[in-house]
């Protein structure tokens, strides 16, 4: 019997995430920890399964080991299937034309055969670096109702920030008449979220054309979408309302973590209907002895110090007299007695020695000029010695 | 390790904790914030290298099945072996099994099919970490017929139990059933190792002779006819044989030494739930407590075990309590020495208190 999937999702997870500096030295951006117990990729994968999409290709290229191990057979997201499920798609060697993924469109192009195995009507293209909850099924319904060839999810952003995004200029009926990539003078405040639904045959056609074009950068935003628009294909915008955050920079990653705090947070994770699944670790519940205020703490924690306005990942130890304020501890980190961590993002497996001082209070640190707006960043596995000091805004990849 | 199959009794000794087993089997009693008691024996098996486990069930095993599922969280969803639920077996002439021996009879088909040389039998009413492969090695080294694990502690309860008189070389010289002693004894913890073929022979014998009790009719007289050996387990051991014991064993986890022994080194596997991490509000004040995923704390919590999804309202003070999954405590309440089963709601301004030797128990799904 021939089997098919109506919609196949392709998740672009190959980006280096260079603006996350030390946090992506050894791992791909979608594998970066978020919100105490998650990794960024949990969000698009959970959105897929919560939207009824059970076939997902994850395109990896840059430092894929942690990501591959994490995604595994897809069991945490119920994506372990006999037909469909989640598949890691790395660049591969072919008889002719062996190459790395040369751009977002080329990455998808190289996996056309994967998509065709499922004979899909539609293909959903996703990014692996956004934090949001979205029902793709509603977007697909809109795509079908409009008989569109391509539907692009978008949301309103403040006009002054619009020049940072791909901007959609649309007619009243939602059709797109112009697509501008990071325009200096934006005509609209509708930003593309990097989420596209294509009617499969159109996608395959334009990917082939793009591949034959030697002048193309093989990028969806720059090449494929404008080419489709030029050819007069039906392109629709789909308005998304809700929380959405691109966590491609240190400060946006910090903000997105802080958005989880509070009894009524900016971004609510604990709704029962749209659960974000993750490979929940097997640690016992957090042991709390110290003072924990306006914070979230994942399992396995041993907290005897003071935690204020912070996100504490799995298996973190904060010893007596230690203080963690306005910070993110991603997991498996030890903050020894008397150490102070302020306005910082601390990656996994870090040891902060006794009485060490990391960063500075937010009021002071945010005046520091630099790549991270004053946020101090410690990379994976860094050891800070006893009484060590890491000034505000510093990015550390090595032991001190 | 020698090839070994495991058998877990998930429904034995339920009469000891009627409050908790009214709605579930012994093994599926929630414990320690995110676990069920069966997780300890089952994880011990997995961590000992056992990959085929039969689980004997009885009444009310829906919640157990829901917890265990295919066994994937224990890496026991296998093509070959894995976790096999053994539903209660009865033919036209027999009723549901009434004791351990009858329960074992129901497992003979499973044991006959097993290719493994050895079998470990364990109950699911205790919290402990034991590498069963050590017991099996001891069993082989002693050339024993049956090796039974004991733990030395003071007898406190009057329910059915067994104590050993053990010779220096480990041989069991005598077995007493329900002795009247008040002192420290070598208490059998219902973990037993034998050759699979030997156990099958014992069961067959028991059927032929119409034996009723594994302890009285087989083990006790077996002292003179079989090579019975005792294996001393000297780690942390908590038998959940009363609501008090349940209360105390939970609070034992607040002791770092106990936590390290039970959860350190090898994981205790359990069904994974995707609740969001625990959230502490501006007004939260938490001391010496275990707090699970999905909790929202706005009040004061001291010496407590909070299971998944527990909410503690503003102005509420909770001390020395075990609150199971999805308990919701309103504002300005005062709770002390309370054990509250799952899904209960405690309205604003309630004052509820038990005491150290008699915790106040709230039934599953109550509204107070």
Interface test with B, best of A288, A306, A307 (most B CBs within 10 A): A288
Mind listing the pLDDT tens digit for each residue in A25-35? 889 999 999 99
Longest Cα–Cα distance of chain A, Å, equals: 68
Q: Do A284 and B305 touch (CB under 8 A)?
A: no
Mean pLDDT of chain A: 94
CB B11 within 8 A of CB B25: yes
What is the structure's pLDDT at B92?
59
Q: Do B267 and A261 touch (CB under 8 A)?
A: no
CB A73 within 8 A of CB A164: no
pLDDT exceeds cutoff 70 at A16 = yes
Contact of A262 with chain B, judged by CB distance below 8 Å, is answered with yes
Question: In sequence order, what are the residues at sequence separation of 6 or more whose Cβ sits closer than 8 angstroms to the Cβ of residue A212?
Answer: none
Kindly identify which residue of chain A lies nearest to residue B33, measuring between CA atoms.
A285
What is the structure's pLDDT at A160?
87
What is the structure's pLDDT at B93?
61
pLDDT band of B95, cuts 50, 70, 90: low
Chain A: closest CA distance from residue B137 (Å): 29
- Could you tell me which residue, A323 or B98, shows the higher pLDDT? A323
Cβ atoms < 10 Å from Cβ of A18: 10
pLDDT band of B295, cuts 50, 70, 90: very high
Nearest neighbour of A296 by CB, restricted to B269, B278, B287: B278
pLDDT exceeds cutoff 70 at A276 = yes
How many Å apart are CA B318 and CA B312, to the nearest integer? 8
- The burial class, CB within 10 Å (0-12 / 13-18 / 19+), for A215 is exposed
What is the structure's pLDDT at B158?
56
Nearest to B272 by CA among B46, B19, B74: B74
Nearest neighbour of A37 by CB, restricted to B32, B253, B277: B277
DSSP letters spanning A188-199:
--EEEEEEEEEE
For the four alpha carbons of A266, A270, A274 and A275, in that order, the dihedral sign comes to positive
DSSP strand pairing (A55-59 vs A38-39): unpaired
Straight-line distance from the first to the last Cα atom of chain B, in angstroms, rounded to the nearest whole number: 52
Q: Do A263 and B293 touch (CB under 8 A)?
A: no
CB A216 within 8 A of CB A106: no
Mind listing the pLDDT tens digit for each residue in A378-399? 999 999 999 999 999 999 998 8
Chain A: closest CA distance from residue B345 (Å): 18
Contact of A270 with chain B, judged by CB distance below 8 Å, is answered with yes
Nearest neighbour of B276 by CB, restricted to A269, A286, A291: A269
Q: Do A288 and B291 touch (CB under 8 A)?
A: yes
pLDDT exceeds cutoff 90 at B177 = no
What is the structure's pLDDT at B91?
62
Nearest neighbour of A284 by CB, restricted to B33, B282, B286: B33
Mind listing the pLDDT tens digit for each residue in B106-140? 899 999 999 999 999 999 999 999 999 999 999 99
Mind listing the pLDDT tens digit for each residue in B312-365? 999 999 999 999 999 999 999 999 999 999 999 999 999 999 999 999 999 999
Whether this prediction's pTM lies above 0.90 is answered by yes
ipTM of the complex: 0.92
Q: Do A285 and B293 touch (CB under 8 A)?
A: yes
Q: Do B278 and A270 touch (CB under 8 A)?
A: no
What is the structure's pLDDT at B84?
94
Mind listing the pLDDT tens digit for each residue in A296-332? 999 999 999 999 999 999 999 999 999 999 999 999 9
What is the structure's pLDDT at A228?
96
How many Å apart are CA B73 and CA A35, to the nearest integer? 23
**Coil/strand/helix, residue A103:** coil
pLDDT exceeds cutoff 60 at A1 = no
What is the structure's pLDDT at B58?
85
Q: Do A297 and B277 touch (CB under 8 A)?
A: yes
Strand partners of residue A321: none
Q: In Å, what is the CA distance from B34 to each residue of A161, A253, B215, B291?
A: 44, 30, 34, 10
What is the structure's pLDDT at B265?
83
Helix (H), strand (E) at residue B113: helix B108-113
Interface test with A, best of B254, B280, B307 (most A CBs within 10 A): B280
What is the structure's pLDDT at B31?
98
CB B119 within 8 A of CB B191: no
Q: Do B276 and A299 touch (CB under 8 A)?
A: no
Chain A: closest CA distance from residue B294 (Å): 7
- Could you tell me which residue, A93 or A380, shows the higher pLDDT? A380
Nearest neighbour of A282 by CB, restricted to B253, B269, B277: B269
What is the structure's pLDDT at B366?
96
Kindly identify which residue of chain B lies nearest to residue A75, measuring between CA atoms.
B72
Mind listing the pLDDT tens digit for each residue in B240-285? 999 999 999 999 999 999 999 999 888 999 999 899 999 999 999 9
Nearest neighbour of A276 by CB, restricted to B274, B278, B286: B274
């Amino acid at each position: 019997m021939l089997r098919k999937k109506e919609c196949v999702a392709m998740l672009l997870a190959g980006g280096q995430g260079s603006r996350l500096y030390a946090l992506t030295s050894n791992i791909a951006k979608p594998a970066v920890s978020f919100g105490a117990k998650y990794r960024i990729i949990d969000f698009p994968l959970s959105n897929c399964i919560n939207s009824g999409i059970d076939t997902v290709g994850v395109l990896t290229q840059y430092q894929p080991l942690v990501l591959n191990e994490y995604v595994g057979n897809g069991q945490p997201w119920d994506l372990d299937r006999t037909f469909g499920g989640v598949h890691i798609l790395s660049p591969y060697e072919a008889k002719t034309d062996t190459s790395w993924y040369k751009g977002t469109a080329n990455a998808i192009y190289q996996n056309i055969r994967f998509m065709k195995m499922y004979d899909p009507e539609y293909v959903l293209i996703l990014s692996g670096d956004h934090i949001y909850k979205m029902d793709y099924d509603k977007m697909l319904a809109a795509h079908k109702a409009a008989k569109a060839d391509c539907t692009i999810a978008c949301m309103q952003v403040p006009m002054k920030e619009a020049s940072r995004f791909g901007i959609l200029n649309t007619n009243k009926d939602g059709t797109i008449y112009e697509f501008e990539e990071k325009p200096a003078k934006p005509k609209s405040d509708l930003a593309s979220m990097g989420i596209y639904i294509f009617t499969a045959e159109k996608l395959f056609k334009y990917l082939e054309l793009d591949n034959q074009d030697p002048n193309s950068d093989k990028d969806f935003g720059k090449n494929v979408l404008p080419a489709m628009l030029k050819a007069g294909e039906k392109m629709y915008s789909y308005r998304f309302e809700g929380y959405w955050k691109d966590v491609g920079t240190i400060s946006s990653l910090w903000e997105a973590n802080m958005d989880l705090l509070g009894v009524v947070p900016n971004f609510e994770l604990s709704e029962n209907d749209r659960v974000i699944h993750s490979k929940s670790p097997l640690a016992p519940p957090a042991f709390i002895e110290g003072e924990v205020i306006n914070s979230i703490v994942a399992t396995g924690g041993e907290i005897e110090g003071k935690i204020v306005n912070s996100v504490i990942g799995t298996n973190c130890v904060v010893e007596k007299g230690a203080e963690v304020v306005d910070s993110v501890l991603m997991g498996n980190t030890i903050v020894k007695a008397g150490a102070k961590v302020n306005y910082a993002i601390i990656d996994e497996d870090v040891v902060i020695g006794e009485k060490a001082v990391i960063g500075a209070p937010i009021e002071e640190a945010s005046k520091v000029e630099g790549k991270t707006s004053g946020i101090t960043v410690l990379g994976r596995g860094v050891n800070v010695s006893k009484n060590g000091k890491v000034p505000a805004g510093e990015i550390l990849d090595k032991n001190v | 390790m020698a090839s070994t199959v495991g058998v877990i009794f998930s429904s034995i000794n339920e009469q000891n904790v009627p409050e908790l087993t009214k709605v579930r089997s012994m093994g599926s009693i929630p414990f320690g914030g995110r676990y069920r008691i069966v997780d300890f024996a089952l994880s011990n098996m997995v961590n000992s290298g056992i990959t085929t486990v039969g689980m004997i069930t009885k009444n009310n095993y829906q919640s157990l099945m829901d917890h265990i599922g295919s066994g994937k969280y224990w890496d026991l969803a296998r093509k070959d072996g894995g976790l096999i639920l053994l539903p209660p077996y009865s033919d036209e002439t027999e009723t549901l099994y009434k004791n351990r021996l009858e329960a074992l009879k129901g497992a003979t088909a499973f044991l006959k099919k097993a290719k493994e040389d050895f079998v470990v039998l364990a109950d699911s009413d205790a919290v402990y970490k034991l590498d069963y492969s050590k017991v099996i090695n001891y069993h082989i080294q002693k050339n024993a017929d049956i090796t039974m694990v004991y733990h030395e502690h003071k007898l406190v309860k009057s329910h059915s139990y067994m104590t050993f008189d053990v010779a220096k070389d480990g041989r069991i010289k005598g077995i007493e059933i329900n002795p009247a002693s008040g002192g420290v004894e070598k208490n059998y913890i219902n973990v037993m190792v034998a050759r699979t073929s030997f156990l099958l022979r014992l069961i067959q014998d028991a059927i032929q002779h119409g034996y009723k009790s594994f302890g009285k009719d087989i083990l006790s007289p077996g002292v003179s006819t079989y090579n019975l050996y005792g294996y001393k387990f000297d780690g942390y051991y908590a038998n959940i044989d009363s609501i008090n014991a349940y209360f105390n064993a939970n609070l034992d986890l607040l002791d770092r030494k106990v936590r390290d022994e039970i959860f350190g080194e090898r994981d205790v596997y359990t069904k994974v739930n995707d609740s969001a991490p625990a959230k502490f509000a501006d007004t939260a004040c938490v001391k010496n407590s275990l707090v699970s995923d999905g909790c929202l704390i706005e009040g004061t919590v001291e010496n407590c075990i909070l299971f998944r999804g527990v909410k503690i309202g503003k102005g509420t003070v909770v001390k020395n309590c075990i609150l199971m999954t999805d308990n919701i405590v309103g504002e300005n309440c005062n709770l002390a020495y309370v054990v509250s089963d799952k899904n209960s709601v405690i309205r604003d301004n309630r004052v509820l208190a038990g005491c150290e030797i008699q915790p106040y128990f709230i039934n599953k799904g109550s509204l107070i």
